[in-house]
Amino acid sequence: MITEHTAHEPDPNPQPLSGTGDDSLPGSEPIKIETRGLTFHYGHQQVLFENNLDVGANRVTAIIGPSGCGKSTHLRVYNRIFELYRNQRVEGKVLLDGRDIFHPEVDLLELRRKVGMIFQTPTPFSLSVFENVAYGLKLHYRMGRGEMAERVEGALHRAALWDEVKDKLNHSGTALSGGQQQRLCIARALAVQPEVILMDEPTSAIDPVATAKIEELIHTLKKDYTLVVVTHNMQQAARISDYTAFFYEGRIVEFGLTKKIFTRPDRKQTEDYITGRFG
């Protein structure tokens, strides 16, 4: 059985977080993911340097920065998906709800259930729309057909896709349009009742209309989930996020309230990037 995620209404105005960036301001927001001293190596090449970052619960945190600055690498630590490849080394701490995700007793599959991920290109499986959403459910839960159908429908509703696919649940997921495919992937991720959703440039392969739908969706999702979104699109970061981290060459140059980062950044480098002087 699944216990339904209890929704609580967060303060509509995000406050400075404790611990990072704005040390001057006392933090008042609950923190979902706490990253301390995170470094990352691909072979001999170091790509992340001493990253410290706090992800606010039920907030959207945007990660911006020029290509190759380590945004995706940082994101891919949170669900330990980077472990799929060899020759990588990670040091430092990442705490999810105060618990180290690298602790040997952490159940990796359960961590990934809690921390869902959406990729740059939509990745529907070669299965029907229904089976795509049911895939993750079947991995983690046992349930009858009726409950399964309910959960799939619920997830498709939450991903704002139900009305478009309710008549073609048995069609192949790969036959949907790009934007629909991406929302199908979001539904698939939501179905397993995650707490955090990581998005790695979720709209970069999608047309503007579909992008608007996904941005709207991100906005409604933060009521129930914590979101971390990597994007190379600064306008998008400004539109969707409560907090923004600016990465440059593997370091977090500046982190704080999105409003502040985009209006009066503390660092010259941040300002130069945001105003389009490089990147």
244 in contact with other proteins (CB under 8 A): no
204 in contact with other proteins (CB under 8 A): no
Query: For residues 143 and 149, is the Cβ–Cβ distance under 8 A?
Result: no
192 in contact with other proteins (CB under 8 A): yes
189 in contact with other proteins (CB under 8 A): yes
CB of 112 to other proteins, least distance (A): 4
Sole binder of other proteins in the list 58, 79, 258, 270 (CB under 8 A): 79
**Contact code string over 106-135 relative to other proteins, x by CB under 8 A:** ---xxxxx--xx-xxx-x-xxx-------x
CB of 278 to other proteins, least distance (A): 28
Query: For residues 115 and 82, is the Cβ–Cβ distance under 8 A?
Result: no
174 in contact with other proteins (CB under 8 A): yes
- Residue 172 DSSP label: B
Query: For residues 125 and 173, is the Cβ–Cβ distance under 8 A?
Result: yes
Count residues near other proteins (CB under 8 A).
29
Alpha carbons 106 and 144: distance in angstroms, whole number: 29
Residues 6+ away with beta carbon under 8 Å from 243: 14, 17, 55, 56, 59, 60, 61, 62, 255, 256, 257, 258
Q: Which of 201, 199, 177 is nearest to 116 (CA)?
A: 199
**Binding residues for other proteins (CB under 8 A):** 79, 81, 84, 86, 109-113, 116-117, 119-121, 123, 125-127, 135-136, 139-140, 172, 174-175, 185, 188-189, 192
